[in-house]
Amino acid sequence: MEKVFPKHDLRPPPGAAADWTIPQDWRSYTAGEHAVWDRLFTRQSAMLRDRASPAFLRGLDVLRMSKPGIPDFEELSERLAGLTGWRVAAVPGLVPDDVFFRHLANRTFVAGRFIRRPDQLDYLQEPDVFHDVFGHVPLLADPVFADYMQAYGEGGLRSQSFDALHRLARLYWYTVEFGLVRYGGALKLYGAGIVSSHGESVFALDDPSPNRIGFDLRRIMRTQYRIDDFQQTYFVVDSFQELLSRTLETDFAPLYRELAQSSDLPPDAVLETDLVIHGGDQTYAKSKAAP
Ligand code: PHE
Ligand code: FE
């Protein structure tokens, strides 16, 4: 749900409701589709055991996500609603930003229902049900992260009147999609884009190439990101409580106004004012850039 759509004149496709949701139609998944989920699930849950944040792992557990097959959104929503009041609803693909924000503000996470093909296990540009559900849903069982996602939706709706949607998109990108969190002196993964990716689960924590920098709201809102490859910089929060407090207690309006006067930063920038946890050597990005 990262794409920025034109603001107006987008209607839900035929068969979708006014809020863009569609039935998941869980019964129509084939055995082959369930098998793709199972392969991805087995591989990622083993990989993440000592890499993901404890909150993510707890979410997998309390939501019983190890149950074989693509999760049934109704069943998943019942469990999740009992814990934090969140629900999961299917959508046909990417939805317009205001639709996405409104769902978040109402504690509904919209997810793709389709699953990648067996030859796409490692990389897929569009978010499928594995990215959306395995990647995003476990943290919605965490009460603090659940509140952050709702606040983000409300903030997203508000940002539209400041023409600052791209600022909020960057915040989403560098937290919800690609965030790291400190835990007991180590760094752990929580971003959905990382935990749903086999390669990036290793790269984000272990590789010397990317920067790892302490969370800074203003800094993140100035930073461009890459959608086509591993990130060049990851931002690290001390806790989800820090993430929630900082974003909730800051009025973004003056920030948007101030940032309109300052330049954007490239994805690999390191500033004097950054809290650098690891200064990346960018060897990976450079190797890709070479002709
Ligand atoms: N405090 C933000 C604002 O004034 C709203 C927000 C909260 C945005 C949490 C993102 C996350 O707009
Ligand atoms: Fe995502």
Assign 3-class secondary structure to 52-85: ECHHHHHHHHHCCCCCCCCCCHHHHHHHHHHHHC
Residue 212 makes CB contacts below 8 A (sequence gap 6+) with 180, 187, 233, 234, 235, 236, 276, 277, 278, 280
Q: Which pTM was predicted?
A: 0.95
CB under 8 Å, gap of 24 or more: what pairs does 43-47 form? 43/121, 43/198, 44/134, 44/195, 44/196, 44/198, 44/201, 47/198, 47/201, 47/202
Tokens read off for 103: 């769902």
Q: Are 209 and 203 in contact (CB under 8 A)?
A: yes
For the CA of 156, the closest atom of ligand 1 is 8
For the CA of 251, the closest atom of ligand 1 is 4
3-state secondary structure of 145: helix
Closest CA to 156 of 147, 165, 143: 165
Beta bridge partners, 183, equal 186
Give the Cα separation of 26 and 6 in Å (integer): 31
- Burial (CB count within 10 angstroms: exposed 0-12, middle 13-18, buried 19+), residue 246: middle
3-state secondary structure of 26: helix
Ligand at minimal distance from the CA of 169 is 1
List the residue whose alpha carbon is closest to atom 3 of ligand 1: 252
Ligand at minimal distance from the CA of 104 is 1
CA of 172 to the centre of ligand 2 (A): 9
Alpha-carbon dihedral angle through residues 43, 236, 222, 123, given to the nearest 10 degrees: -10
Enumerate residues with CB within 5 Å of ligand 2 (an ion): 127, 192
Distances (CA, A) of 111 to 49, 71, 147, 277: 24, 12, 18, 33
In 3-state terms the chain splits into helix, strand, coil percentages (rounded to 5) of: 50, 10, 40
Q: Is 252 in the pocket of ligand 1 (CB under 6 A)?
A: yes
- DSSP code for 275: -
> In the block, which residue shows the tokens 């993901």?
52
Distances (CA, A) of 156 to 10, 252, 278: 18, 11, 30
Give the Cα separation of 161 and 257 in Å (integer): 12
**Helix pair 165-172, 143-159: axis angle to 10 deg:** 160
pLDDT, tens digit only, all 291 positions of the chain: 444 444 444 789 888 999 999 999 999 999 999 999 999 999 999 999 999 999 999 999 999 999 999 999 999 999 999 999 999 999 998 899 999 999 999 999 999 999 999 999 988 888 999 999 999 999 999 999 999 999 999 999 999 999 899 999 999 999 999 999 999 999 999 999 999 999 999 999 999 999 999 999 999 999 999 998 999 999 999 999 999 999 999 999 999 999 999 999 999 999 999 999 999 999 999 998 766
Give the Cα separation of 204 and 189 in Å (integer): 8
